[in-house]
Amino acid sequence: MPELPEVETVRRGLTPAMEGAVILRADVNRPDLRWPFPDRMAARLTGARVERLRRRSKYILADLDTGETLLIHLGMSGRMLISGDPLGQFVHDHPAPEKHDHVVLHMDNGARITFNDPRRFGAMDLMDTRTADQHKLLAVLGPEPLGNDFSDAHLIEAFQGKNTPVKSALLDQRIVAGLGNIYVCEALFRGGISPVRKAGRIAKPRVAALVPIIRDVLSEAIEAGGSSLRDFRQADGELGYFQHRFDVYGREGAPCRKDGCDRSVERIVQSGRSSFYCRSCQT
């Protein structure tokens, strides 16, 4: 599933084609994805101007001049693809419709935004912009890891007394929003912390050190266009490149990249998810 860097990469790609543009027509080609679409979604989107495109955790939020906000979640295989942008940001002509093009937005600047989702685990919803942060999917989220609210003090307090593995704690969206399996593995490697160590038993200085490490990992991934594993594509259809810089994720049996370490990367399963780490460098 796309994590924060992939979603932020898509948001940045969509921004020049959507912000300030009017949705001339919205085609909604099925009644649902993971959940049913909101009532009259096509009619409510048609004629609306996109005033702002933002991100919260793994959700893209399009604030409309109608007072509503379109929430988009890519799910496992969802892609937001742009074609026909007259501003010269993208060079793709409008492709022929595909089987899994479930929602298509025709913009007044000539761009076409297509939400394609073969597995249909994605989601869209419309909500009142004034109370968007109270939406059931957003209200439970913790601070953004790249925002000011994600601080040493916050993470230390969140970990205090916690008897779950640190890997699970960092995947808890109530503690920090947007982190997923890939970037938690990478951050823990850089921090020298084993994914099986109990969060509440990590010394405060080591917990504090994780905050800038997490920021750095995410920022580097965003600049690389995210990580392309299986289905992910940027909004212009291109692949991300951060997967070529993984230190541990997906590298089971490969040599550890820390200087002086002669161990190999190991894989274990935690709560049904693969964790990759170096047993020697992460304690």
Choose the catalytic residue: 54, 120, 257, 273: 273
Choose the catalytic residue: 11, 55, 58, 233: 58
Establish whether 99 is a catalytic residue. Answer: no
Q: What is the domain count for the chain?
A: 2
Distance CA(75)–CA(177), nearest Å, equals 16
Choose the catalytic residue: 2, 5, 16, 145: 2
Question: Which pair of tokens denotes residue 203?
Answer: 């010394």
Residues 220 and 123 in one domain: no
The pTM of the full predicted model, rounded to 2 decimals, is 0.88
The answer to whether residue 140 sits within a structural domain is no
Chosen domain end from 134, 169, 191:
134
Residues 126 and 156 in one domain: no
Establish whether 273 is a catalytic residue. Answer: yes
Residue 200, number of CB atoms within 10 A of its CB: 15
Residues 180 and 252 in one domain: yes
Chosen domain end from 134, 165, 191:
134
Question: Which pair of tokens denotes residue 174?
Answer: 């109530």
Residue 61, number of CB atoms within 10 A of its CB: 20
At residue 167, the 3 state secondary structure works out as helix
One pLDDT digit (tens) per residue for the chain, 283 residues? 788 988 998 999 899 999 999 999 999 999 999 999 999 999 999 999 999 999 999 999 999 999 999 999 999 888 898 888 665 655 557 777 778 999 999 999 999 999 999 999 999 999 999 999 999 999 999 999 999 999 999 999 999 999 999 999 999 999 999 999 999 999 999 999 999 999 999 999 999 999 999 999 999 998 877 664 455 444 555 544 456 678 999 999 999 999 999 999 999 999 899 999 999 999 9
Establish whether 204 is a catalytic residue. Answer: no
Residues 126 and 167 in one domain: no
* Residues sharing a CB contact under 8 Å with residue 157, sequence separation 6 or more, in sequence order: none
Establish whether 3 is a catalytic residue. Answer: yes
Residues 111 and 158 in one domain: no
The answer to whether residue 250 sits within a structural domain is yes
Q: Domain holding 17: CATH number?
A: 3.20.190.10
The answer to whether residue 139 sits within a structural domain is no
The answer to whether residue 34 sits within a structural domain is yes
The answer to whether residue 91 sits within a structural domain is yes
The answer to whether residue 84 sits within a structural domain is yes
Domain enclosing residue 42, as ranges: 4-134
Choose the catalytic residue: 3, 6, 8, 186: 3
